[in-house]
């Protein structure tokens, strides 16, 4: 869908940048994701005050501070419920949620599943570096089972890596994509399409950690365009994922289910339920 543009764009990339300078390690993939988000918003000409950026905890979750958007740096793993609540109460806003693989797939794993299932109209961008960087390099849900880089798991975590795209598809997400931070224009394209998609859009960004996983610099050679065109057929999407080596990029799946809309007002208030309990 093309968005009508004014003859002269009002908002430039710098319109979305705050005065705070990112404290990420130079070389971190998250810089490119920050830049891609701003490129996408510039392309869509979304006024900064009509976009909200919600995050959890971790290196990548610092992102809202570096933007002029309304931001909410929430609780570990809870970016998605906060973002869902915001979107449902303020459907006029464009809502983005951001975070890392530990925040989104471990601490917030349950919320990830239900956000996919609920299909609220928002975009979730996960910067996946397969490590807990802020706490100095422990294995995360997407770490290879044999990774020996942490003293806590010297022989590797020994657990099969979480598969975010398979999980999102199984749980009901209607827009699923993967990009590499080293290709920021593709990240911007996917974010742009995700924002325009009516429903929950999940953009999985492979975003190397140069400090605790320096070997991830080789990701540039490993990524490849595995999903040249999105499919709207879930069966086809699952088949594609069976051949996925975790480095396929592109938009995998765009479903046609409309975004979640509350059907009716609740007949009681949550606080009233609490009144039934006697301490």
Nearer to another protein, 83 or 192 (CB): 192
Task: Figure out which of the listed residues 5, 10, 75, 272 binds another protein, where binding follows CB under 8 A.
Answer: 5
Q: Which residue bears the tokens 């794993």?
A: 109
By the rule CB under 8 A, 10 interacts with another protein: no
By the rule CB under 8 A, 15 interacts with another protein: no
Stretch that binds another protein, among 25-33, 81-89, 96-104, 119-127 (CB under 8 A): 25-33
Stretch that binds another protein, among 15-23, 78-86, 96-104, 113-121 (CB under 8 A): 15-23
The nearest distance, CB 100 to another protein, in angstroms, is: 15
Closest CA to 126 of 22, 46, 213, 33: 33
Distances (CA, A) of 85 to 76, 89, 263: 16, 6, 15
Give the whole-angstrom CA distance, residue 128 versus residue 126: 6
Q: Do 105 and 77 contact (CB within 8 A), yes or no?
A: no
The nearest distance, CB 119 to another protein, in angstroms, is: 26
SS3 at position 139:
coil
H or E element: which one contains 70?
A: strand 70-73
Give the whole-angstrom CA distance, residue 112 versus residue 117: 9
The nearest distance, CB 94 to another protein, in angstroms, is: 18
Binding track, positions 34-73, relative to another protein; x by CB under 8 A? -x---x---x------------------------------
The nearest distance, CB 23 to another protein, in angstroms, is: 5
Q: Do 155 and 80 contact (CB within 8 A), yes or no?
A: no
Give the whole-angstrom CA distance, residue 61 versus residue 126: 9
The sign of the dihedral angle between the CA atoms of 266, 272, 278, 279 is positive
By the rule CB under 8 A, 254 interacts with another protein: no
Task: Figure out which of the listed residues 10, 75, 185, 239 binds another protein, where binding follows CB under 8 A.
Answer: 185
Residues in touch with another protein (CB under 8 A): 5, 13, 21-29, 31-32, 35, 39, 43, 135-138, 149-152, 181-186, 188-189, 192, 208, 210-212, 217, 220
């Amino acid at each position: 869908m093309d968005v009508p543009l004014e003859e002269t764009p009002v908002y430039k990339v710098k319109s979305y940048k705050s005065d705070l300078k990112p404290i990420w390690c130079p070389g971190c993939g998250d810089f490119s994701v920050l830049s891609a988000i701003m490129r996408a918003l510039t392309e869509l000409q979304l006024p900064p005050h009509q976009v909200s950026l919600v995050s959890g905890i971790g290196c990548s979750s610092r992102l809202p501070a570096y933007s002029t958007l309304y931001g909410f740096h929430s609780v570990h793993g809870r970016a998605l419920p906060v973002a869902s609540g915001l979107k449902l109460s303020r459907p006029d806003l464009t809502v983005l949620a951001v975070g890392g693989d530990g925040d989104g797939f471990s601490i917030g794993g349950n919320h990830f599943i239900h956000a996919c299932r609920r299909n609220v109209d928002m975009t979730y961008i996960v910067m996946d570096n397969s490590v807990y960087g802020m706490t100095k390099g422990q294995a995360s849900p997407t770490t290879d089972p044999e990774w020996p880089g942490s003293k806590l798991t010297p022989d590797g975590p020994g657990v099969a890596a979480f598969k975010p795209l398979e999980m999102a598809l199984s749980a009901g997400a209607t827009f699923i994509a993967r990009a590499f931070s080293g290709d920021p224009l593709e990240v911007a394209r996917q974010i742009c399409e995700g924002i325009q998609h009516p429903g929950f859009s999940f953009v999985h960004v492979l975003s190397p950690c140069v400090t605790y996983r320096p070997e991830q610099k080789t990701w540039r050679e490993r990524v490849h365009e595995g999903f040249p065109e999105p499919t709207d057929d879930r069966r086809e999407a699952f088949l594609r994922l069976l051949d996925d080596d975790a480095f396929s990029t592109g938009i995998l799946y765009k479903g046609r289910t409309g975004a979640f809309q509350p059907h009716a007002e609740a007949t009681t208030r949550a606080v009233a339920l609490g009144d039934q309990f006697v301490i």
